[in-house]
Structure 1
């Protein structure tokens, strides 16, 4: 039986505004943490209803830019998705 696992970028209320401001595509995120959280929870629950294991990966405003620089990536959705997928993979295979 295959288990599908997805890493989902996750934000904390206290860092959401800072992250949104630093992301190149931050204007495409919801305006407030509450709006983002409601949408993210709906997405997470939809995936889990399809038997997909969701690993919520915290995006830290200090560590994520360092990771992007080390991996020659911009601070955008592509980098967030890649970062979340890599962390989820590490967690799932430990």
Structure 2
């Protein structure tokens, strides 16, 4: 009998689009904790993906629009901060609104 392949835990990670970055920053309640530029954020995103893979999880891009994020926060009466975004990304991951991360 061969060893069973262990299934990796899927972790959704929010993926911002370059064209949405400035609007996202303007809407974020925790702006001072975020990267100033999209390129700086992209470096952080890539590092997070590498770290997740090293830890044995399977990171996937969460697909969303800024309007969806803001609507979620409004409906849940949340500020647009890291905690709310994490909840939002987790919900979208459970709904399967993700895609494979093919480039790093």
Compute the TM-score of the two structures, normalised by the length of structure 1.
0.87
In the alignment of these two chains, the number of paired residues is 92
The reply on whether 1:43 has 2:42 as its aligned counterpart is: no
Deviating 4+ runs (over 6 angstroms): none
Within 5 Å, give how 1:1-94 maps onto structure 2: 1-91=6-96
Larger RCO (CA under 8 A, 6+ residues apart): 1
Question: Aligned to 1:66, what secondary structure does the other structure show?
Answer: helix
Any unmatched runs of 5+ in structure 2? 1-5, 98-104
Cα displacement string for residues 36-74 of structure 1 (whole angstroms, at most 9, x for unaligned residues): 001110111110122201121134221211111112211
TM-score by length of 2: 0.79
8 Å Cα contact 1:12-1:58 kept in structure 2? no
Structure 1: runs of 5 or more not aligned: none
Pairwise CA RMSD: 1.6
